[in-house]
């Protein structure tokens, strides 16, 4: 009874790594998690499937098109496309059980049916932290975010990166002043692209939405205010704009920058950048983007901001919040492409125990002794020639092979071979443990 | 512009925990992963969405009904319902890149649209390990599995559990001998339920598929052979059944039990149990189930077995394998219900740093110093009364609060309060670090 053979394949746009890459990917996840937990963020794991009416309560056109949506029984279901909407749902549902300010992290897969292309995935990991307040959330939390970003990318092995920071109230205030308030959303969306498309293209797009040339000039001049962080702040203050929103933005960014210093973020890693607006409507105050200084073409590797109201679609209550997100699948792909992944270990097992002959008793005994000391150890069990066993260790990049032959059996030792240097020495188990710990 | 309020809710059958439970859940995942890695299993992370033709290549009726299946563009897609089918696909696709025997673990969510009921989830975690051979896989691997199960549940804090082990060739051989070969699948499926439905119900079901009374008696006698593991083995040998399959089963189980001892599994944790058959067709040799001795009603908490051919739907090649799986979401629910979860830590932050007044400079400085020593630390940032700050620590079960007031500022100290005992002492930062490390 022969069954039909189906060609095995994985869907395009879905990351599926070889174990050696998966080890590196998991190391990045572990470090991000470790860094988030170091700041006391609580773990959350929400379902990947939600009711469509919940997920799409606010979603705009692009999201609607990209979403994985289907019916099951009588339910209209969707796969989550980010971790923020599920958080909003969660906070509303559990507002009486959780403690505020609610600090949570979530690391999980999200789904967007974009056109697959190099480094763009339809299933990808997001690593988010958010702090949600009950009606109020002090501005100092906005200064804690850059310190988490700083610590996280440090933990990942990076130092040459800059966190760009801005406050949307400054821009909004200016637009109020210029009588362009009703076009703010459009203008911000256009300005946000200045790094990508350049000044001229931005001007053209602003013209298209009927903004007069002189006002366009003012906007451009404004976002190009330069100098050090403090100089920019001073120049802004010297504009003497007496708009309430504007002044509140200035006050906030000043406080955030001061506290960021207290939080230990070095000045060279933080830049007050008036060109950062973030495309999404819902940011209302501080916004962040992070760039690797030597690889700015990778785009922002960690972004986020402050929002006044997380969950307006689900409740009359106000939950202000601030958060950041790392799109890890894409970041991993990019870092891998430019060879920037810091490898700490390349294998799971630290040592492969092999027997010269078929008998495995001693090999298993040695392995158990090593595992009892928390040294990840594999026994080569399949009956193969010794050469194949070494080849296996090599392919898996296992750094040590412990060989047990007649001599070693007699002496109650193993011969430990360093697979990188080729050095080998006959050692007692206790000495092996000491060496590998 | 008021938007419509949508009632936030989570789909029934989808686990969504409060942070304090999520911390415990994550600890279980971490320990399972740690235990799997200790044996050198490699990590894998395959997509949750696959082509339906791949996932359903072999699936039977029940699976077909339960699956989450939908169309997106021109693709007929499904959510994975286990981690074994994706593994089969993966091994076929990457057979030239991976090293055999291929030892992989995968911990991830799978989806089955069952009727939601207490402790049954539609989205749940499976924690699998499998070892896949290229054409051949020695029987000793079957003895390594119980040692991984043993180590894993030990790591999870359990000692009073029994791994039940059997070999399907023994049963199959018997059925060949009884001329019931063409009914083997049905009979195994019925026998498998003996723990659940009892001997009488099994007899009735066997009768229903037209098995003669005398043969039923023989089957029941057979699976109730009792005594110690060795006594059972002896009694089986003494039946003098000269069937090839039967004898091969005896030989295998004997070898597996011998090696299990060498692998360090205590005799009291392993039981040769002729009633274990496992409902799934694809097991062909050794099978495992694991029970908590004092909570047998929970059912098997870790099951698996040996299969001759992992990927027959995708390739002409033969990939024999052996594996086990823990259904973690259900297990977590059950352990939680009977209060059996071993808590190691109840909070993420080990200490909450609070300031008596509004100034946070010193609090942040202290927190940074603690984090630099890898002590997870949270600063209470929101401007609240000191009482609220302690209440927050209490609610989050944070074990220590470090208070900074006027005195402490002057003395360059903090007052560290143990939240469980209520004890407090004024300490220098270095002393706090020493205490909390």
Encode pLDDT of A263-296 as tens digits.
Answer: 999 999 999 998 887 666 679 999 999 999 999 9
Contact A403, A419 (CB under 8 A): no
End-to-end alpha carbon distance in chain B = 53
Contacts of A94 in chain B (CB under 8 A): 18
Radius of gyration of chain A (CA): 27
For chains A and B, CB pairs below 8 A equal 257
Residue that wins the pLDDT comparison between A214 and A42: A42
Chain A nearest-CA distance from B283, in A, is 18
CB under 8 Å to B421, separation ≥6 — which residues? none
Q: How far apart are CA A350 and CA A353, in angstroms?
A: 10
Q: How far apart are CA B178 and CA B385, in angstroms?
A: 80
Distance of CA B46 to the CA centre of its chain: 17
Residue A1 pLDDT? 45
Contacts of B264 in chain A (CB under 8 A): 364, 368
Contact B290, B302 (CB under 8 A): yes
Residue B1 pLDDT? 45
Chain A nearest-CA distance from B44, in A, is 6
- Nearest chain A residue to B85 by CA distance is A8
- Nearest chain B residue to A53 by CA distance is B6
Per residue, what are the HEC states of chain A?
CCCCCCCCCCCCCECCCCHHHHHHHHHHHHHHHHHHHHCCCEECCCCCEEEHHHHCCCCCHHHHHHCCEEEECCEEEEECCCCHHHHHHHHHHCCCCCCCCEEEEEEEEEECCCCCECCECCEEEEEEEEEECCCCCCCHHHHHHHHHHHHHHHHCCCCCEEEEEEEHHHHHHHHHHCCCHHHHHHHHHHHCCHHHHHHHHHHHHHHHCCCCHHHHHHHHHHHCCCCCHHHHHHHHHHCCCCCHHHHHHHHHHHHHHHHHHHCCCCHHHEEECCCCCCCCCCCCCEEEEEEEHHHHHHCCCCEEEEECCCCCCCCCCCCCEEEEEEEHHHHHHHHHHCCCCCCCCCCCCCEEEEECCCCCHHHHHHHHHHHCCCCCEEECCCCCCHHHHHHHHHHCCCCEEEEECHHHHHHCCEEEEECCCCCEEEECHHHHHHHHC
> How many other C-beta atoms can be found within 10 angstroms of the C-beta atom of residue A224?
11
Mean of per-residue pLDDT scores for chain A: 93
Residue B116 pLDDT? 76
Q: How far apart are CA A408 and CA A400, in angstroms?
A: 16
Contact A269, A152 (CB under 8 A): no
Indicate whether A2 pLDDT > 70. Answer: no
Q: Do B42 and A19 touch (CB under 8 A)?
A: yes
CB under 8 Å to B315, separation ≥6 — which residues? A5, A8, B92, B95
For residue B51, give the 3-state DSSP assignment.
Answer: strand
CA-nearest of B26, B3, B7, B6 to B15 is: B26
Give A198: exposed, middle or buried? Use CB within 10 Å, 0-12, 13-18, 19+: exposed
For chain A, percent of residues with pLDDT exceeding 90: 79
Most confident of A83-87, A119-123, A193-197, B3-7: A83-87
Q: Mind listing the domains of chain B with CATH numbers?
A: 19-46+83-337 (3.30.930.10), 351-436 (3.40.50.800)
- Nearest chain A residue to B13 by CA distance is A47
Residue A136 pLDDT? 96
Contacts of A348 in chain B (CB under 8 A): 37, 40-43
Task: Over range A196-225, report the average pLDDT.
Answer: 90
Q: Which of A8, A368, A396 sits opposite B99 (nearest CB)?
A: A396
pLDDT digits (tens, 9 = 90+) for A342-357: 887 899 999 999 999 9
Q: Do B47 and A104 touch (CB under 8 A)?
A: no
**Look-up of token digits 């089955």:** B112
Strands of B123-132's sheet in order across: B42-43, B102-111, B123-132, B321-327, B303-307, B286-292, B161-167, B270-272
Task: Over range A62-77, report the average pLDDT.
Answer: 90
pLDDT digits (tens, 9 = 90+) for B350-395: 999 999 998 999 999 999 999 999 999 999 999 999 999 999 999 9
Residue A118 pLDDT? 83
Strands of B377-379's sheet in order across: B377-379, B351-355, B400-404, B414-418, B424-427
CA-nearest of A298, A314, A289, A299 to A84 is: A314
pTM of the model: 0.94
Chain B nearest-CA distance from A381, in A, is 7
Torsion angles phi and psi, residue B324, rounded to 5? -140, 160
Q: How far apart are CA B239 and CA A35, in angstroms?
A: 62
Q: Which of A2, A4, A8, A121 to mutate to test the interface with B (most CBs of B within 10 A)?
A: A8
Q: Do A50 and B75 touch (CB under 8 A)?
A: no
Contacts of A137 in chain B (CB under 8 A): 382
Q: How far apart are CA B78 and CA B54, in angstroms?
A: 9
CA-nearest of B265, B266, B40 to B131 is: B40
Q: Do A73 and B19 touch (CB under 8 A)?
A: no
Give A329: exposed, middle or buried? Use CB within 10 Å, 0-12, 13-18, 19+: buried
Q: Which of B26, B43, B138 sits opposite A23 (nearest CB)?
A: B43
Per-residue pLDDT of chain B (437 residues; tens, 9 = 90+): 456 799 999 999 999 999 999 999 999 999 999 999 999 999 999 999 999 999 998 766 677 789 999 999 899 999 999 999 999 999 999 999 999 999 999 999 999 998 878 888 999 999 999 999 999 999 999 999 999 999 999 999 999 999 999 999 998 898 899 999 888 888 878 988 888 899 999 999 999 999 999 899 888 888 889 999 999 999 999 888 899 999 999 999 999 999 999 999 999 999 999 888 766 567 999 999 999 999 998 999 999 999 999 988 899 999 999 999 999 999 999 999 999 988 878 999 999 999 999 899 999 999 999 999 999 999 999 999 999 999 999 999 999 999 999 999 999 999 999 999 999 999 999 999 999 99
Contacts of A69 in chain B (CB under 8 A): 70
For residue B141, give the 3-state DSSP assignment.
Answer: helix
DSSP3 helix / strand / coil % (chain B, rounded to 5): 45, 20, 35
Residue A171 pLDDT? 84
Contacts of B314 in chain A (CB under 8 A): 5-8
For residue B430, give the 3-state DSSP assignment.
Answer: helix
Residue A372 pLDDT? 96
Q: Which of A18, A57, A68 sits opposite B6 (nearest CB)?
A: A57
**Look-up of token digits 């940032």:** B381
Residue A185 pLDDT? 81
Task: Over range A184-210, report the average pLDDT.
Answer: 89
Q: Which of A40, A70, A382 sits opposite B348 (nearest CB)?
A: A40
Answer whether the bond into residue B278 is a cis peptide, omega within 30°.
no
Contact A225, A250 (CB under 8 A): no
Contacts of B73 in chain A (CB under 8 A): 113
Task: Over range A149-167, report the average pLDDT.
Answer: 96
For residue B352, give the 3-state DSSP assignment.
Answer: strand
Integer CA distances (angstroms), B304 to B148, B281, B288, B301, B329, in order: 12, 12, 5, 10, 17
Contacts of B344 in chain A (CB under 8 A): none
Q: How far apart are CA B29 and CA B39, in angstroms?
A: 16
Burial letters A249-266, b for 16+ CB under 10 A, else e? bbebbbbbbebbbbbbbe
Q: How many CA atoms lie within 13 A of B361 on its CB side?
A: 8
Answer whether the bond into residue B37 is a cis peptide, omega within 30°.
no
């Amino acid at each position: 009874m022969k069954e039909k053979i189906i060609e095995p394949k994985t869907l395009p746009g879905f990351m599926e790594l070889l174990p050696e890459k998966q080890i590196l990917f998991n190391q990045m996840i572990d470090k991000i998690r470790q860094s988030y937990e170091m700041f006391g963020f609580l773990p959350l794991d929400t379902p990947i499937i939600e009711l469509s009416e919940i997920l799409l309560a606010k979603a705009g056109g692009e999201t609607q098109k990209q979403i994985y949506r289907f019916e099951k029984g009588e339910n209209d279901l969707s796969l989550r496309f980010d971790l923020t909407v599920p958080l909003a749902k969660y906070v509303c549902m559990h507002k009486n059980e959780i403690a505020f300010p609610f600090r949570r992290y979530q690391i999980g897969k999200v789904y967007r049916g974009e056109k697959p292309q190099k480094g763009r995935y339809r299933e990808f990991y997001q690593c988010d932290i958010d702090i949600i307040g009950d009606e109020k959330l002090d501005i100092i939390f906005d200064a804690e975010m850059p310190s988490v970003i700083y610590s996280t990318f440090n933990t990942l092995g990076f130092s040459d990166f800059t966190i760009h920071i801005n406050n949307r109230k400054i821009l909004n205030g200016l637009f109020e002043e210029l009588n362009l308030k009703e076009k703010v959303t459009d203008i911000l969306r256009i300005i946000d692209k200045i790094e990508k498309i350049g000044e001229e293209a931005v001007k053209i797009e602003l013209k298209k939405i009927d903004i007069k040339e002189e006002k366009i000039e003012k906007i451009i001049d404004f976002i190009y205010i330069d100098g050090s962080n403090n100089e920019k702040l001073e120049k802004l203050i010297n504009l003497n704009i007496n708009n309430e929103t504007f002044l509140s933005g200035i006050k906030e960014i000043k406080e955030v920058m001061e506290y960021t210093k207290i939080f230990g973020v070095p000045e060279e890693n933080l830049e007050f950048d008036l060109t950062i607006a973030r495309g999404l409507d819902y940011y209302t105050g501080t916004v962040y983007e992070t760039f690797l200084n030597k690889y700015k073409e990778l785009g922002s590797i960690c972004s986020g901001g402050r929002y006044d109201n997380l969950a307006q679609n689900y409740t009359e209550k106000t939950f202000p919040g601030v958060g950041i997100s790392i799109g890890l699948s894409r970041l991993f792909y990019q870092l891998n492409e430019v060879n920037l992944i810091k490898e700490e270990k390349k294998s799971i097992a630290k040592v492969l125990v092999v027997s010269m002959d078929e008998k495995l008793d001693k090999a298993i005994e040695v392995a158990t002794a090593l595992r009892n000391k928390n040294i990840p150890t594999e026994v080569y069990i399949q009956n193969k020639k010794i050469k194949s066993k070494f080849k296996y260790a090599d392919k898996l990049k296992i750094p040590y092979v412990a060989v047990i032959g007649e001599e070693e059996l007699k002496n109650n030792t193993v011969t430990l071979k360093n697979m990188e240097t080729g050095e080998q020495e006959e050692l007692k188990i206790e000495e092996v443990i000491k060496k590998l710990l």
